[in-house]
Each structure stands twice: as C-alpha cells, then as structure tokens.
Chain A
C-alpha cells in the first residue's frame, strides 16, 4: 500500500461528493467512506511494518477527520433546510375576560394609592340602594322600568330595608363599608350592576362598575382631581387629560361628570367623541352629608369624594369594541383576543 492510495481515495471521495445532489446523498457517501473504504484501509495498515504504519496511519487518520468534518457540515446544512415558513404547531393558553382584566388593573392602580378593594352583594335592599344614598322617595330610578326588583310576597307592605332589588350601582357598598369601618377610608368596589332596560349595542341588563370613595378629615375636590388624574393616566396613557363638569347626583354635593380627552383622537375631535375631543366616562362628587349621616359618619368632622365608572365603556373605548353584548356572549372568537 502506498500513500498515493490514500490520496486517491480522498480524490474519489471529493469527486463523488461533487456529483451528489442532495445533503442526504452526501451523508450516505461520507458514511460509506468512513464505514467501508477507510475501515478497509485501516485493516491493511494494521498488517504493515511499524515504520510504514506510522506514516500511512497518520495520513489515513487525517482523511478520517476530513470526512467526519464534512459530515458535520452536511448535518448543519440539513438543520438549516427546515422550511421556516411552515405554520407552527397549534398550542393554546387560557385568557382572562377583558372586563376582569380591566377591573384587576383598576384595582392595582388604586391599591397603589392605598385604596382597599372591597365587594358587596348583587341582591340589595332598597334602603342601601336608594334611601341611604339620599334618593328622594319619588325618584324615577326607583320605578320598575329602571330597576329590577325581586318578586316578593306583599311587596307593597314591606319597608324599604326589606324590599329587594338587583343593585343599580355599586354605591350601596359605600354605605355598607362606612357602617362597618371608621374613617379615614379609602376603597374601590368592583362589581356587577343591573338595569331593567332593553339591551342593544350600548345597553345591557347587567354590566360592571367600579366605585371609589375616600373619606377623611381633609379631603377636597382638588384631591379628587389629583387621584382621578393619576388613575386615567395609568389606565389610558400619560397624555390623558381630564375635566370636571357640573352635574347632579342625589348622593354627592357638589357633583360632577368626569370627561377624559378622547382616547381615539387624543382630543382632536372624531366620531367616537362626537367631535368634542372629550369622552364622558365617570360620575363623581363630594359625598353628600346626608349619605355620611345615614352611614353613621360624623359629617361635621369628615368629608370625602366618591365616584363611579362604567367599566364596560372603558374597555369598549380602549379596544374600540362596538357592542357591549359581546362581553356577555362567551364567544371564543371574542375572548381569545384578550
């Protein structure tokens, strides 16, 4: 055996590789040379004198690593040849309802400012829902076309604390909380509320509210502006501006509507904000002294602000959702997007 034989073997190998068309073929060729051709060479070398063995052995080993290296290259080439544009395999994860996400976010923002998150019952009595909140006895929202009452025996003869209804707002929780806790107080109340009205793309029989209240010895409208400003900037973005407009609610005095600069056009005016640049999103005010009294709080010593915001509407604005009923449809195509 001569050195030439090994050189020839290498040339033959390179020639075959050159002619091969696919990585698969090149892999087969390399394997054939390693397993068969080279093994034969090594078997022959074994028989030779020690001097020849050294020279040829080294040469054969060099060829062996040369082919092995080539095989690694082939493997790398094969790895890269996966069609990366093929669709990935389907995997699935769960999602949280967009309203829950919003309520959690609201809770986090207010917790950061020291507000406790508390809850109240969905079935409420008329006293907590209306009387204690300073609603007049003949206030129109006490009527059945606005409020969902529970069917009760001899309802007419029941007192207002016995008459049951589906709460029309989260505000009765203000009363419940104040009756059980002493000021200073800072709470937010997320929850489902109800109206007895026909449903359409912007009205639902049940929807969500976030109520908030801060009561202390030194709480003012200026404080409300600061707290609510932080809330909306965290919820809608730091460029969000707010404004307060006069309004009327039985349970606050003074009362305001809170507008935020339109989240769609940043206040320039568009169809979402009816070209005004502002969106009405929240009712608020300073807690009416009668409400404090009804909840056992000394209204000479304490005062505070309270607000209520429709969470469905916030989420509809945030994602440009045009139909409130989607929230209550349990439709996978809707829910999977959040």
Chain B
C-alpha cells in the first residue's frame, strides 16, 4: 500500500525522520519498503504490508503506531467530538445477516456536496486515489486513516429508508458505481433497500443511491463482513477493491464504530451537515482478547539477548498491548485489532523486531559434537558425479516434466498427469531421463561437434519416484559407451555386470545391464528412426541406471597385492560364424582355463578377406599367472591346448593355426 508521508506526519507533533530515513527504519523493524517517491509537496512511501498485518496496517494510523514504537516519538490521534441532533430511527432501519460481523451507520443531514479541501485531496492523490467530492473523499480519507472501508449512500435514494444485508438472489442484477453490470448469485452478500440491491457488501457500492451534487442526507455505512464470504464473492465477480482486500484479510470489528464517528464528524465539519443523534450498531460477532503469559527468560531464550524489562514494557505499550507484570513475569493482552498475536512467540517477535534484530549479537550455538550423517544415497550420488566427470561427461539438468508430443513419440503409456499446469509442456511427470537427454543431444548437436553429458534426477512411475542416472554421448558407438559404463560401474564399486541383448522402441542395439539377476540399467544406441524424429545426425549412445539398485549392490573396493610372479601370454585366434556372440567363446575359454588363466582380452575382431564367407575371427590374448610360483612353459601350453581342443570341439568353430 502507498502511504502519504504528510498523512503520517499528521499523527506527530515532532518532526518525522526524512522520508528515506523513515523508510530505512520501517525496513529494519516493520516491513519491506518498495519505493519512496516525491508527489508534489508530499512523499509517497510504498510499504509491502504482508497479510499477517493487513488487518491493522493497511492504514496510516497503524503505520504511525509502528513508527511511534520504533522511534519512541509520541503519537497523537485525532479526537472525535460529535454534536448530535434529532433521531436516527426516523431515518433508517437496518437488518443484517450473520455473515455481516458488524454493521454501524450514522446519518448526516443537510450536507452540501462540493469539492473537498486541498489537504485531503493532496493526501488522496499521494496514495493513488482520485478526489471525487467532499463526502466520497472523506470516506476514502478515513479508510486510509483507520483501515476501515466506509460507504456513503444518498439517504433519499434508499427506498423506504430500510437497509437489509442479505445474500443476493440467483441471477439478481446490479450496476456498480463504475457503471458495470453484474449478475449475482446466492453466494454473494449484498446491501439492499426495500426494492433492490444497492451495493455488493464489502466489495463495491451500487450506482442507485450514489452521492451527487444534490445530495442532502448521507447514510454512512461502516461495516465488517465475513472474510470467506467476501473472498468468494470478489473472486466470482472478478472484482478486487481497496475494501475487498481489507475484508479478505480479516479485520477487527472494533474499528467500524471508531471510523464511522470519525467520518461523521469530518463530514459535519467540512460539508456543513448535522450529525443525527444515535448510531445503528448491529454486532453479530463478539471479539475477545486473548491473554498471553511469558517471562523475560522466554524472551532471552528465543532471541538470545537480554532485553531490559523496562524496554520490553515500553515496546509492548507503544503497540497498544495491555500489560500486567510481576517481577519478570508478564501477562499481556494484545489489542483486538492485532489478530496475528495469539501465542507468546508472537509477542516475542514484536519485542524482537522493535528492539531490532541488528542489535542481537551473533552467538555461536552450544551443541553436542555429533558427526553429521550423510545418507548412502547422497554418498553414491557424489561418487557418481566425480566418476562421470573423470570420464569426461558434463552434468546437465532437464525439466521434471514432459509434454504430450514427447510422451507419444516415445510411446509412453499411463504417465502421471498434472492438474492444470501453467503450460502443456508440463503435462506429465517424466518416466525416464532419456527423452530429455536425447532431446538435449539434438539441441547440442547444432552448437558443438561432440558432447558427452549425464543427468541425475528423479523419474516417476505413476506417483512413485526414484532416482536414476542417465547419460549420452555423440558421436559415439555402442562399444565405446559400454566401455564408459563398465569403467563407471567399476569405479563406483560394482563389478561383474553382464549385458543381455534387449530392445526398446526408441533404441537400436540395446542391452539390459544386469548385476546377478537384477537389472540395474540399460544401454543402447539411439535408433535411426528416433534420430530422424529428433533431427539428430551423429551416432548417439545413451544409458540409464537405477541409483537405488546401484546403492544396494555397491561394494567397497578391495586391494589385491601386486603379483610378483611372471605371467605368460598366449594368443588364440578363433573362427566362428558371424552371428556367434563373443561372450560364448569367452565363457568357454574361462571355464577351460581354470584358476591359472588370470585375464582374457580380445585384441582383434576381423571379418572380410582371407576369412571364409559368413565367418568372423576373434583374436584372444590370454594371460596365465599364479600368485605362488612361476609357471613353466609346458604347464601353460598344456592349458592352452586344452582350451584349443575345447573350442575346436564346437561344430562350426575353428581355431586358426
């Protein structure tokens, strides 16, 4: 809300600090100031009043009270003196539904409508309101002063002199002061006279009983309405007004009476009318103050600073709290307009902020020397980050959501949908990181020649979430990526994984990565069809691994003493049909080789000339080594021959001599 510096000054005899200085004080003890700007001879101060204090501080009086508490300057509120004449019951009769917490009304007769005095107009302009005439300006002025929305009706236009606060009928129509037509329903509270509705309660006045230059009699309404009812009505009508905002946040009903008297006396002074004796006052809701007990020790415990008892007392009194003190025990009552103060922590916050958080010296906490825990899942994650980085992979982030197009491209079914996302790009929770990763390949291919990257993140099956790590590399080949994944798994403590041929609709060559019987992930080359759809040209290989599963099969690394006995190398070249899998030959060699065969590696794979049609050649290098003795040449050759004859025994396989 925008506040007028001159308006605030009117509550003090002493000169207020300069506007910017005042703003700085408010920032440190009250709320954020969004701007300080000169407006004519006045200064507009835009204070971000948070909802917790909207009930009392969307008003100059409320902020002036804060300034008084912060600076210690004496606060002077205007005194209201009314000269009353006649009898209000001859003018108006009021009925109010229980959704109206309080309804007060004053009648001012024989007014002269005209422009309001300059000092009122100036303050309204500073606060962003347009001066209209003295009557409307005074209602707005008093709202700015007290926070209480008021409404002035032309009394002669209120049919039958009867006012009823009731819910509207379905499809009831009304034109508001801004000449907009509204269709109402039974959830919307209205002010009506004998004939029709004349205002939307707590939101906006109707055009029918509008005050104009010929108005003589003013019915001045100062009421309080149920916050939920106002909120619901304002939302239905798409109307947000100074009044509705105040009621929606919940105001105290005590301000209504004070405001109606203040406005009536100003109208009498300025518009020359007479205040009619008596005040309509229907109070449907009683408010009671809460009493809160605390000790100076409580204040010290929470704030961590010793604040003198007298200072605690001064602060709370300046904020209108009632205080009873017995040594260092306090029993206080917050003023009724402070609906936000309910428990002792609320009171201590008041003490703390006015005392000033900058006056609280930092104090290192005293706590047990407990070694912090790190979950095994986070430990694995740090490890993965380190190893992927070492393997030359860069970490990337994608969105948690995918759109319909991506979901159908990857043929995902039964994805968890979001309720009314702001954009359809966030329609589904991602079931895998791979769609995002593959899309990122497409985008990066346009800007760099090659890129290897990975992502760690949550993916979802229905509403169930789990963490996975996925990666992609381009240009790459299946075997290159398999080497990366293998080394990566080994580095994070997972050995002996197997790769089983598998398929996914968006991948070409593809294998499930297994540890024992457990599938821990997948690796595959992105199919040319997928690449075409995504506009990708280079060969791309991707993988995705389940972090939860990796976590359970991880093992600590073990040190093997360096073998000091010399090893012996033997090469074997084997011809097999083209469709034979490498792993079949390797398994056979290992089985025959026994414990002295310590390593098998493939050093050449050859197809083509010199090789019979439909065949391929594997060249194995075998390392024989014992950790207790030097092996003799004869011994090694004997094992090699055993391996060769075993390989040769397979029909269609042939060891090349």
Q: Are A331 and B447 in contact (CB under 8 A)?
A: yes
Taken together as a complex, chains A and B put the C-alpha atoms of A335 and B463 apart, in Å, by 31
Binary interface encoding of chain B residues 397-441 relative to chain A, with 1 for a CB under 8 A from any of its CBs, else 0: 111110000000000000011111111001001000000100010
Across-interface contacts of B363 in A (CB, < 8 A): 220, 222-223, 225-226
Contacts between chains A and B (CB distance < 8 A), count: 228
Instruction: Tell me if A123 counts as interface (CB < 8 A to partner B).
Output: yes
Tell me whether B374 and A94 are in contact (CB under 8 A).
no
Does any Cβ of B come within 8 Å of A186's Cβ?
yes
Per-residue 0/1 for A218-256: is the Cβ within 8 Å of any B Cβ (1 yes, 0 no)?
A: 111111011101000000000000011111100001111
B565 within 8 A of A: no
Q: Are A216 and B418 in contact (CB under 8 A)?
A: no
Does A40 count as interface, using CB distance less than 8 angstroms?
no
- Give the contacting residue for B395; candidates A96, A110, A155, A243; CB below 8 A: A96
In the complex the two chains form, what is the Cα distance from A96 to B361 in whole Å?
38
Which of B24-32, B94-102, B166-174, B551-559 is near enough to bind chain A?
Answer: B24-32
Contact B375 A118 (CB under 8 A): yes
In this assembly, does B320 line the interface, its C-beta being within 8 Å of a C-beta of chain A? no
Given contacts A138-B231, A205-B399, A206-B399, A222 and B361 within 8 Å (CB-CB): yes
Task: Tell whether, in the assembled complex, residue A117 and residue B375 are in contact, meaning their CB atoms are under 8 Å apart.
Answer: yes
User: A254 and B419 in contact (CB under 8 A), knowing A243-B357, A246-B29?
Assistant: no
Which of B39-47, B344-352, B491-499 interfaces with chain A?
Answer: B344-352
What is the CA–CA distance of A186 and B367 in the complex, to the nearest angstrom?
10
| Chain A residue contacts of B27, Cβ below 8 A | 245
Q: How far is the CA of A245 from the CA of B396 in the complex (A)?
A: 36
**A123–B460 contact, CB under 8 A?**
yes
Q: Is A100 in contact with B343, judged by CB distance below 8 angstroms?
A: no
- With CB as the reference atom, state the residue of chain B lying closest to A220: B304
Chain A residues with CB below 8 A from B302, complex form: 220-221, 254, 286, 303
Out of B305, B349, B372, B458, name the residue touching A222 (CB < 8 Å).
B305
A102-126 contact mask (Cβ, 8 Å, vs B): 1 or 0: 0010000011001111110111000
Chain B proximity of A94: nearest CB distance (Å): 4
Q: Tell me the residues in window 298-349 of chain B with beta carbons closer than 8 Å to chain A beta carbons.
A: 300-305, 343, 345-346, 348-349
In the complex, chain B residues whose CB is within 8 Å of the CB of A223: 304, 363-365
Neighbour of A244 across the interface among B358, B394, B419, B453, CB < 8 A: B358
Asked if B353 and A254 sit within 8 Å, CB to CB, the answer is: yes
Interface string of A75-101 (1 = CB under 8 A from B): 000000000000000001111110110
Contacts of B365 in A (CB 8 A): 214, 216, 218-219, 223, 226-227
Chain B interface, DSSP helix/strand/loop, else mixed: mixed
A-chain residues with CB within 8 Å of residue B303 when the two chains form the complex: 220-222
Q: Does any Cβ of A come within 8 Å of B275's Cβ?
A: no
* CB < 8 Å neighbour of A198 from B300, B392, B398, B423: B423
Is the pair A192, B395 in contact by a Cβ cutoff of 8 Å? no
Interface 0/1 of B439-480, CB less than 8 Å to A: 010011001100111010110100101000000000000000
Is the beta-carbon distance between A138 and B228 smaller than 8 angstroms? Answer: yes
List, in ascending order, chain B residues with CB within 8 A of A214's CB: 365, 367
B residues less than 8 Å from A104 (CB atoms): 382, 385
In the assembled complex, the Cα of A115 lies from the Cα of B27 at a distance in Å of 31
Interface flag for A197 (CB, 8 Å):
yes
Please report B residues at the A interface, Cβ cutoff 8 Å: 27-32, 50-53, 228, 231, 300-305, 343, 345-346, 348-349, 352-353, 357-358, 360-375, 377-378, 382, 385, 388-401, 416-423, 426, 429, 436, 440, 443-444, 447-448, 451-453, 455, 457-458, 460, 463, 465
Contacts A94-B392, A245-B32, A288-B345 aside, 19 further interface pairs with beta carbons under 8 A come to: A93-B389, A99-B397, A100-B385, A117-B372, A149-B418, A184-B368, A192-B457, A220-B305, A229-B362, A243-B28, A246-B31, A246-B349, A253-B345, A257-B32, A328-B397, A330-B396, A330-B455, A333-B448, A335-B395
Closest 9 pairs between A and B when the two form their complex, measured CB to CB: A222-B304, A220-B304, A254-B349, A330-B396, A330-B440, A94-B389, A226-B362, A244-B357, A222-B363
